[in-house]
Amino acid sequence: TIHRCVESGENTIVGSDCLLMATAHVAHECVLGDGVILANGVMMAGHATVGDGAFLSGYVVVHQFARIGRLAMVSGASTVRQDIIPFCVADGHPARPKGLNVVGIRRAGTSPERLRDLKRAYRTLFGHDGTLDRRLTELSENSREGVSEVSELVEFVRASDRGIARPRRRPRLSAAARKQLREHNWPGIIRELRNLMERLTYLADTTPRSVFVQRSTPRNPGLPTSVSYTHLTLPTILLV
């Protein structure tokens, strides 16, 4: 279904060569670029915008006024609350970028050199150093002349009113925290240690913290393992 506009002077626009599958819905004042694909059950609220060549998988929900950039791909059943930058793959509740849509970018005829520039721009945009405005300025100053994709990415972010969706930052362990984990007299097997390290982050203070670690212990030889929880107290480490 496609709704007409409800405000005078506005338009609901569907570009050329778009594919709207069964039960997809485009609300009032939405704008779809050329070559957009909306899979089954996609629900777009009013005033949302989708760039050329974007792909929204089944049952994606798009918040009103949200924007999805050119050649972006949103995984099935995701919820788009903020703007999704061009050229990326987004997933989750809310949808967050998971990396570049490399396959879609290549199919669009982008050269390998420009794809490498986009990869560097993506890492810079979502890096840990400086403010977002500073990183955008760095991208504008350092991008090679004629690389329109990087310029498009910068302009899209600067024009965002709802803010852009950002990747979830993974906690990082300091060298001291990793050393403590390695030297701790752990029960069980090494896989438990690896699983725990992914869930812990190092704290600057030395206050002991209590965590629960999942362990698997065999009941009897040849039978499935049972699961129990072992209580451990670790200095300077906190479960996140």
3-class secondary-structure state, position 234: strand
Determine the pLDDT at residue 148: 87
pLDDT band at 168 (very low <50, low <70, confident <90, very high): confident
- Report which listed range, 36-50, 106-120, 173-187, is most confident: 36-50
The CA angle 97-23-11, to the nearest 5 degrees, is: 75
User: CA 46 to CA 17: how far, in whole Å?
Assistant: 21
- Cα–Cα distance, 219 to 32 (Å, whole number): 58
% of the chain residues with pLDDT over 70: 68
Confidence tier at 26 by pLDDT (50, 70, 90):
very high
pLDDT for the residue numbered 152: 95
Helical axes 190-197 vs 175-183, angle rounded to 10°: 160
Q: Return the structure tokens found at 4.
A: 């007409």
Q: Rounded to two decimals, what is the model's pTM?
A: 0.72
Give the span between the Cα atoms of 125 and 109, in whole angstroms: 23
Q: With bands split at pLDDT 50, 70 and 90, how would you rate the model's confidence at 238?
A: very low
**In the prediction, which pLDDT does 24 show?**
97
> Which residues, 6 or more positions from 219, have their beta carbon under 8 angstroms from its beta carbon?
225, 226
In this prediction, residue 128 carries a pLDDT of 66
The secondary element (H helix, E strand) that includes residue 233 is strand 225-235
